[in-house]
Amino acid sequence: MTHHQRTDLALLRETAELAIDYLTELAERPVGRPIEPDALRAALGGDLPDRGEDSERVVARLARDADPGLVATAGPRYFGFVIGGSLPVTVATEWLAAAWDQNAGNYPASPAASVLEEVAGSWLRTLFGLPATASVGFVTGGTMANFTGLAAARHGVLHAVGYDVEAHGLFDAPPVNVIVGREAHTTIFVALRMLGLGSERVTQVPADGQGRMRADALRRALEASTGPTIVCAQAGNVNTGAFDPLREIAAATAERGAWLHVDGAFGLWAAASPTLRHHLDGVEMAQSWATDAHKWLNVPYDCGIVFVADPVAHRAAMTVTAAYLVRGAGEAYQAYDYVPESSRRARGLSVYVALRSLGRSGLAQLVDRCCTLARRIARRLEAAPGVTILNDVVLNQVLVRFAAPGDDDRGADERTAAVIAAIQSDGTCWAGGTIWRGRGAMRISVSNWSTTEEDIDRSAEAILRCAELLGVPV
Ligand SMILES: *Cc1c(COP(=O)(O)O)cnc(C)c1O
């Protein structure tokens, strides 16, 4: 063994130790204390060095200097956004995948990665109850899963009227109607923007008090539209966790011959649970679906997944051709047919190991446990007179509002914002803010595999302690 190889091995072992130390202390570190960018710039910035530095020192310094800016999103008391942690088996697999350095863009570059993504994709199709013929792509996240599903939709609805959008672009295309729920996730609009469909040209269908698209209003919007049409529904509202009425939406969309895309970034995982599955009734009737493994499956970033019922439309929208990309015999899975990227990391691997290690029952338990814990924190907080839960807690999302006696709506908005700031500085847990139907709220998302009842109780106590100091009766 050369001297170089020996120091490389030491570097890898020491880095693994640093990572293990972090994970060991994760549950007890402050979850995410505010820090100014200048503090981090002072520690991490400076000029690009002329001469390289010793690798072990570089990594050790990085671990030390980045630490105050790390947020314990992997830990059990991070309730911000809808984030999820990383199952240890997936962290270990990502280490291995990085060491393997496979390019999962096409079969010849990594036969193993291609087959693993093919297998993981078929497991997920079964788990979600999607058509057995649906094609699958592993993309960077929900945004790109929506983008890819909507690109297939754009192909599908224009191909149906004899227009080849991939060849000719949208310049001379028949107009495409896009109909979305008023509560569509903001990244749907990003995807539409990137696809030339415009983020503001869409028809927005009103939602009900929980944020569900109103199927009667969708019917009217569909009746008012002519020509190629794409409808975007949502499984899992980022504020309330609510699901659009998919069966009714799918029926109305099918009658009109339109394309239905479902954004199920976290909500699609409810399919894993026999007790929650009913929320997704009719989901299989859509033409494309987007979800995120880095949310509720608890795999590392970045890992979104897109499914398209018609693989021909999916491939037409995404495929690449080049003289050096030779299609082998045996119909191997070529990721570049189904995702926007060419070269890409083997992101399907952690999905594969997560599903294999949890099994159907383990995943159902993970999802159910998060929802039970969401109801638990809602109950604990709601018992305080100054606290109101704004949503029906049907999934893993809880919206909390704080008020002191005599607060009007604005007063309660300010009080709620103050409680959110206080809990973030406190560091026991982390929850962010949102606006729900014009009113400020703390948003709690329980999506981490490692959260326990004790974490929930400790967090509820910390939130109520902060609220009480700010004049909220608890
Ligand atoms: C998180 C989320 C997205 C975006 O996913 P990213 O992985 O952050 O790109 C889209 N839709 C919904 C409903 C989400 O919750």
Q: Which of 143, 183, 268, 294 is the pocket-test mutation for ligand 1 (most atoms within 8 Å of CB)?
A: 143
- Kindly state the average pLDDT of the residues 395-400: 98
Does the beta carbon of 268 lie inside 6 Å of ligand 1?
A: no
CA atoms within 13 A on the CB side of 103: 8
Q: How far is the CA of 291 from the centre of ligand 1 (A)?
A: 8
Nearest to 94 by CA among 345, 314, 311: 345
Q: How far is the CA of 309 from the centre of ligand 1 (A)?
A: 21
Rounded Cα gap, residues 137 and 146, in angstroms: 11
Asked if residue 368 has pLDDT above 70, the reply is yes
> 175-189, 227-241, 275-289, 308-322: lowest mean pLDDT where?
308-322
Atom number in ligand 1 closest to CA 144: 9
Chain Cα centroid distance, residue 433: 18
pLDDT at 146: 98
Atom number in ligand 1 closest to CA 302: 7
**pLDDT digit string, tens, across residues 166-219:** 999 999 999 999 999 999 999 999 999 999 999 999 999 999 999 999 999 999
Q: How far is the CA of 403 from the centre of ligand 1 (A)?
A: 30
- pTM, entire model: 0.97
DSSP character for 10? H
Write down the mean pLDDT value for the chain. 96
Backbone angles phi, psi at 213, to 5 degrees: -60, 135
Q: How far is the CA of 214 from the centre of ligand 1 (A)?
A: 21
pLDDT at 330: 64
> With 0-12 CB in 10 A as exposed, 13-18 as middle and 19+ as buried, what is 255?
exposed
Q: How far is the CA of 290 from the centre of ligand 1 (A)?
A: 9
Nearest to 15 by CA among 58, 44, 53: 58
Asked if residue 7 has pLDDT above 70, the reply is yes
Does the beta carbon of 211 lie inside 6 Å of ligand 1?
A: no
Asked if residue 329 has pLDDT above 60, the reply is no
**pLDDT digit string, tens, across residues 34-59:** 999 999 999 999 999 999 999 999 99
Classify 110 as helix, strand or coil.
Answer: coil
Does the beta carbon of 304 lie inside 6 Å of ligand 1?
A: yes
Q: Give one DSSP letter per residue of 156-201, joined into a string.
A: HHHHTTT--HHHH-STTPPP-EEEEETT--HHHHHHHHHTTS-SSS
Q: For strands 288-292 and 304-308, give the pairing.
A: antiparallel
Which band of pLDDT confidence, cut at 50, 70 and 90, is reported for residue 6? confident
Q: Give one DSSP letter per residue of 246-302, joined into a string.
A: HHHHHHHHHHTT-EEEEE-TTGGGGGG-TTTGGGGTTGGGSSEEEEETTTTT---SS
Any idea of the CA torsion for 402, 243, 74, 456, to the nearest 10 degrees? 40
Q: How far is the CA of 235 from the centre of ligand 1 (A)?
A: 11
Asked if residue 150 has pLDDT above 60, the reply is yes
Does the beta carbon of 183 lie inside 6 Å of ligand 1?
A: no
Q: For strands 177-181 and 203-205, give the pairing.
A: parallel
Rounded Cα gap, residues 239 and 248, in angstroms: 22
Does the beta carbon of 187 lie inside 6 Å of ligand 1?
A: yes
Q: Do residues 82 and 238 make contact, with C-beta atoms less than 8 angstroms apart? A: yes
Q: Provide, rounded to the nearest whole percent, the portion of the chain with pLDDT above 70.
A: 98
pLDDT at 328: 59
Q: Do residues 163 and 308 make contact, with C-beta atoms less than 8 angstroms apart? A: no
pLDDT at 1: 67
CA atoms within 13 A on the CB side of 28: 3
Asked if residue 4 has pLDDT above 80, the reply is no
DSSP character for 213? B
